[in-house]
Structure 1
Amino acid sequence: MFLKPYRPKSSAALKGSDSKKFRQRVEAAFPHVSVDQLVPAKAAVTQVKILTHGGVQSMVYCVDKLPLFFELDGGQLVPTLYTLWIVPDILPYFTTHEGVLPKLTNGADLMLPGVVPLGVGLSMYGHFKKGQLMAVNLTNNKSAVGVGQLARSSDELYMCGGHGVAIKMLHLFGDKLWSHEPSLVQQIPLVKTKALSGEDFPALGSETERRKTASPATPAPVTFATVAQTEELETETAALTLESQEAPESDEEAVEEASPELILKNAFLSALKNHGKKLPLPLLTSNFYRLYVVTEATEQIDLKKTRYKKLSNFLAEMVDQGFIVVREESKGVDKITSVDLEHPEVVNFITDVKASEANGAASETPLFHSELKEMYIVTDVTAAFFTKLNYKRGEGIPAGQIKKIVREYVSKHGLLHPLTKLVRPDDTLIELYGNREVSLSEMCSLITSKMEHSYQMCSGKDTSGKPLIQMSLATRSGNKKVTLVSNIEAYGIILAEFIKLCKQGAAASTSVVKLPHQKHEQLQIQGNQVRFVHTLLTETYKVPPKCILGLELAKDGKKNKKK
């Protein structure tokens, strides 16, 4: 429904009474969810009327600019992915394999062979009615990646013998509704599923099996569960496992495991182990703690509950133990200048791989805007036409470029009639759609009808046809030099993340400047940061150096050494 671009017709903020009515609609549609979690009483609710690519009118409701609901025919409210990420159990789930997601983003519905049943018999697909709203998640991640309607009832799905459509998809991660407000787009939260172990499959006749069978407190087998029910099942299973385990040898060991000092030290060692080689030294101690240590902690760190009380006291001890070297650049400004990754404690420290992966996935911020692009694939029938314009068979061409390519071909071969403005076909076009004169738009339609239609998730890493990034120097009040950077957004770079990297790496004030008589914005960075920006773009964002202008304005080596 939202894979192709839609056109907003109007947008209006709901007044107090209308906002209250909308809250009542949400509460009536989803009575098992607290409406305050999704639509707080004082939140700004916006109603956006849209016209989909297929000509269907719909309504999208944004809460504080974030699209949380859209309407189907008849006024039924459907939660978006953002809603499902805030309140995961607002809808029941069907689970599919990770490899199915690219097919869904290409426009396919979720087919029954891709659904992972959680039981046997008539209950293997739950007990749902036809047309019921369903969320879709993956075997390796509980978070929703799509929303749709059940194509058949659960009983009918069982009788299909594993064939046919299970869910008609309405909204997917990466589609136009997900990117409705580009500045607020979020990645899929990583909520890993519980891995099964040997303890989940006790041998028949074993003591564990007999105890589980005889225990009246053991829950009945769950054949299909929502996210909330799955979490309850995991909690109960963990409780049974803990009962079967031996108690700790002593209370002192249990206290030591929960020690705030130990949690802090392990997070510090994990930060050095996982990020030590990539640290942008010199690095502010506060940034090191906030960006690297806190994200590696297995539990929340409260410095006031440790014996150090302050970060400076903890880092001073780490300096004494030889882990890091800290230099005071000015009063109250401390920077880490070097780290010892060969320190025995760092070398021998074993990180919790699962925890570090989960934290990394949760804290990792995307560098580029993701966009689902409509593509047309060059087929055997159209290869003769496109090969003359340096396109290969099987190559994908964005839908927006087809008309440009057609115009280029017609102009190059002089096929446009000056009076009728119709295209006179040459031998290649005759083989393609016959010997008749057509308009440019009709020619585009005829060519695309013989191509394979597809979608592709694209990011800013594609540099073809994009303007060059321009770096320049300017002088502001007080003869202070600033570095100006233009055309970054054309490469899909998320400005907020780029600004954060500039502030951390260059330790310089960075802001967005809107210049008069220009559509695009510029980045303004304090000082001559040309070399730093060039390095950041080429190494972190992998922008080819040929796409960047202005490196000659960078400070030379002598000046950098004196500084």
Structure 2
Amino acid sequence: MFLKPYRLKSSAALKGSEAKKLRARLELAFPHVPAEHLMPAKANVTQLKILTHGGQQSMVYCVDKQPMFFELDGGQLVPTLYTLWSTPDILPYLTTHEGVLPKLSNGADLMLPGVVPLGVGLNMYGHFKKGQLMAVNLTNNSSAIGVGQLARSSDELYMCGGHGVAVKMLHMFGDKLWAHEPSLLQQIPLNKTKPLSGEDFPALGSSDQHRKTTKPTPTEPTTVSEPVPQAAETDELTSGAAALSLEEISEPAADAAAVSPDEPTPETVLKNAFLAALKNNGKKLPLPLLTSNFYRLYVVPEASEQIDLKKTRYKKLSNFLAEMVDQGFIVVREETKGVDKIISVDLEHPELVNFITDVKTGDSSGAAAETPLFHSELKEMYIVSDVTAAFFTKMNYKRGEGIPVGQVKKIVREYVSKHGLADPQTKLVRPDAVLLELCGNREGTLSEITSIITSKMEHSYQMCSGKDTSGKPQIQMSLATRSGNKKVTLVSNIEAYGIIMAELIKLCKQGAAASTSIVKLPHQKHEQLQVQGNQIRFIYTLLTETYKVPPKCILGLELAKDGKKKRK
């Protein structure tokens, strides 16, 4: 609903009487949460009228500039992520896996295969009604990452057999509503639940003396003992403090002093996010770009933790960007009073190049983590089941093998065409002996036959990388001449292998010591890598040894230089 930019039609502060009416609506919609927690009496409440990218009108209610609720058709109030983070129990939750988050962020609804069951049997998906508001969180973080409406009731979800939409997403982390006020942006709070251990359940009648006298180590949580009367507790604390020596009291302070230098400062977090934004988006930035949009859309998502400009020495975004201008990273121009735009970026800045080539350290043992060379992609798959194995084995697929969703219909079409099962007039498919076992004795369209087959397959997700070379076009290396009779090496079809182009360009610049760039010729559909000089041998070695591309997938090696010309 808010993934694409919306247009603000009007903005007005609510009067006292209007704010009371809104508070009464909140009490009615969420009776289990005090309305004072959701909308404090002295807060400044603003009503925004917006028009979404799809032409839908909606109301957004901001509390102290932060969007806290929005309205659906019919007037239903929906809490935003900021409300869910401050009041987590305002809505029930469904949990999904961490790998599903990129799909949701790109506009997909939460599908049933991605939902972690809440129980067994009829309790698998709770007891909720169709259309009920649901928050969505992750298995590794209980904080909400989105909110939506149930596509079906809990009983209907159970009867679906693990297929179909579970939650129609309305609002997601990273969308335009979350980023409405750049100065108040928040990252997802990390809220992990520590699993209980046997120490949390002592034997009945056991003494608590050991737990009271044993001092917890800095890495272990302090055990909470039974409550005691306040006076006794005060005496115990006083006597305990008197018994501690000066060395014992200073130990935690010394440990904290030893740890604090390793923690990144707010300025470091901000600078690293700025450099990462230039690294990942430098060539794609739509210059000239508003400085506020650059910070909101590119810098904040790259931050390793929440950025609070007020806690940095800059205090304001303009002060930080002014320093980046002085250091030569960017050029900013003031178009009108108070409106600044970035007009150019220096991607060859030494510090930026060092940041790109820097290898991130791994664990405390000093092991280094490799810079990722391939893009990873979460693909929706259908698994060949026992029921469908007879059909797919005829098309060279094995039992248990995953097939991308978009590939299943192509396989069915190929099978129907190969065996001449389509009626030339009606275009309906006449099942043969193999399809009879799956679809029964009735004709149907290609889409209907495909739907019946996929309904008997297991739905899953698979993380894929560019290392899989099956069905991909060959990488073509060639030579060309540019102005001044300069020879260049052109390499095409690299993107089909999921190779991260920024890292490949970096390796070419370092290894070949030659100018490297991305070009797109008028008659070419895709971009090409261009390296100055005849670098065929170097590119071939880089692709086969570093990226492990099979030699049979690379064409053009015969154009490589055999060696340097001998001087006469």
| Bigger RCO of structures 1 and 2 (CA < 8 A, at least 6 apart) | 1
Query: Which TM-score tier does this pair reach, normalised by the shorter chain?
Result: 0.3 to 0.5
TM-score where L is the length of structure 2? 0.47
Q: TM-score, normalised by structure 1?
A: 0.48
